[in-house]
Amino acid sequence: MTRSLVERLAPAPVPADVGIVIAMAIEAGYLFDSLKRVRRYSARSTTITEGELCGKLVAVILTGAGKAAARRGAELLIAGHRPRWIISAGFAGALDPSLARNDLVVPGEVADLAGEVIALDSSISTVPPSVRTGGRLLSVDRVITRAAEKAELRCAQGADLIDMETSAVAMLARERSMRFLSLRVISDDATVELPPEVANLLSHSGSYRLGMALRAIWRRPRAIQDFWTLHAHALEASDRLATCLKRLLEVLPPA
């Protein structure tokens, strides 16, 4: 191995204090901006970003949307960085009408549509007063765009909010006997009707499908305003998420 190649290689990762599993880049943008002494590691076409934040070594992986992708990404993160804590973080849709856009939630349990329910870590005694704790997060298999379907899910599942990843990461953490929690920021409240194109816009990698977005705009010109509004709201939610993650890291107890 030549000297120039050795100099380009990142140092081998040491055990991280916290591993953060996030589906989409737009959810993690402000978090990445906050990391210091950043290093990146690639495996199986996936990049894990490691850095320092609030006195802790943090490793972040972007998995793409859905439970299968989240589990694969979490497995890679655990294998390479051996974090003492796992956090599933990102956006969520509200089912509880009392939750508003940009509200922050640390749920008390996570469920899936198969009926599996996992109680989440309750040892975080101090969280920012703006964060709601407790309640049930339901992980679903697709984007829920209609307010009526959100109401049906709340009635049938007793859930307060939904996402597409947390249950898979929680199950893995339980299998590995790892400390785990979830932090979610509400991206759409229970009454919001999302544009019909949203369900098809995300690729498995968590990136936006540009071609599909352009076709949606061609068929329905007003979609460009819908997409712009969603993007602006997503940036606000990402900022809120990063700020709260930093506060959680400050009070996270040792594993």
pLDDT, averaged in runs of 10, over the chain (255 residues): 44 81 90 92 83 93 92 93 94 94 94 93 70 93 90 95 96 95 92 69 46 49 61 83 90 75
What pLDDT was estimated at residue 29? 85
Q: Can you list the domains of the chain with their CATH numbers? A: 3-238 (3.40.50.1580)
What pLDDT was estimated at residue 7? 42
The single residue listed with the structure tokens 């606000």 is 236
Q: Between β-strands 56-62 and 161-163, what pairing exists: parallel, antiparallel or unpaired?
A: unpaired
- Partners of 33 in beta bridges: none
Q: Can you say whether the dihedral through the CA atoms of 157, 73, 32, 235 is positive or negative?
A: negative
**Looking at this protein, which amino acid is placed at residue 216?**
A
First to last CA, the chain: 38
What pLDDT was estimated at residue 62? 93
What pLDDT was estimated at residue 200? 57
Q: Are 82 and 15 in contact (CB under 8 A)?
A: yes
Compute φ and ψ for 20, nearest 5 degrees. -115, 125
In terms of Cβ atoms closer than 10 Å to its own Cβ (0-12, 13-18, 19+), residue 241 is buried
Residue 202 is classified by DSSP as: B
What pLDDT was estimated at residue 45? 77
> For residues 106 and 197, what is the distance between their CA atoms, to the nearest angstrom?
29
Q: Counting every residue, how long is the chain?
A: 255
What pLDDT was estimated at residue 99? 95
What pLDDT was estimated at residue 227? 63
Q: Are 5 and 45 in contact (CB under 8 A)?
A: no
Task: Count Cβ atoms below 10 Å from residue 152 Cβ, excluding itself.
Answer: 13
**Looking at this protein, which amino acid is placed at residue 115?**
G
The model scores a pTM over 0.75: yes
Q: Which of 64, 70, 66 is nearest to 88 (CA)?
A: 70
What pLDDT was estimated at residue 233? 79
What pLDDT was estimated at residue 223? 53
